[in-house]
Amino acid sequence: MESNKRGAFIVFEGCDRVGKSTQSNKLFKLLKDKDVAVKHINFPDRSTIIGDLINRFLKNTQDLSNEVIHLLFSANRWERVNSIQEDLLAGTTVICDRYAYSGVVYSVAKGLDMDWCWAPDRGLLKPDAVFYLKANPDQLASRCNFGTERYEKLELQRKVSELFDDFNERESSYWHQFDAFETEQELHSQISTIVEKLLPQVADKPLEKLT
């Protein structure tokens, strides 16, 4: 029997090396084990032609202007918008590492204008929940080695962190902040509790777009 309940669109955000992949993977496995239809994606999606260009930029083998890389990151999300929408409407929950918020904060941290940065992401699907893993970048740098990719520099991560904090305040109706230095299991349990409530809540809600 066809169900008309939709899945939830869940995004993880935060600085580099903060534990997003660990937590999103744990959530993905939990839902899968409970037989919830679920997919796990991440941005940048390095598997596409645009994603390959982004990858080369991040690995420092390709230089691009701030504006161009910004628009490529956004285009990389637009490449996936239809498939995300189809999945959600078919009842599949989509867990996504990084989204338009990363797009804006990294570019604004480099000096681009906020409104200019947000514009190309307008019209993308709006997440039902954003899980923001917050950590002090100075502590993060000592916990794990920054340095392999272009943006893994303390000075930039400090700005990125502040800009994520601003989003968290402005968008508090669907952002949830977590202390990234909690234990893996504690974080997972906090996140799971929210997701358990979220899935039935959004099942009959129409999808919204970023404005």
**Where do contacts with ligand TMP occur on this chain (CB under 6 A)?**
16, 43-44, 58, 73, 97-98, 102-103, 106, 149, 151
Candidates 14-22, 33-41, 48-56, 65-73; binding stretch for Mg ion (CB under 5 A): 14-22
Give the closest residue to 130 by CA, choosing from 5, 20, 18: 20
**Among ligand TMP, Mg ion, none, residue 102 binds (CB under 5-8 Å by kind):** ligand TMP
d(CA 118, CA 171): 14
Tokens of 191: 């996140």
Min separation Cβ 8 and Mg ion, Å: 24
Other C-beta atoms closer than 10 Å to the C-beta of 67 total 12
Stretch 30-69: interaction string toward Mg ion, x if CB under 5 A = ----------------------------------------
Give the closest residue to 18 by CA, choosing from 127, 128, 95, 97: 97
Candidates 12-20, 23-31, 127-135, 191-199; binding stretch for Mg ion (CB under 5 A): 12-20
C-alpha dist (Å) from residue 81 to 124, 147, 150: 7, 31, 26
Q: Are 19 and 133 in contact (CB under 8 A)?
A: yes
Min separation Cβ 31 and Mg ion, Å: 24
d(CA 21, CA 188): 12
Binding flag, residue 16, Mg ion (CB under 5 A):
yes
User: Nearest residue by C-beta to Mg ion?
Assistant: 16
| Shorter beta-carbon distance to Mg ion: residue 13 or 16 | 16
Q: Which residues bind Mg ion (CB under 5 A)?
A: 16
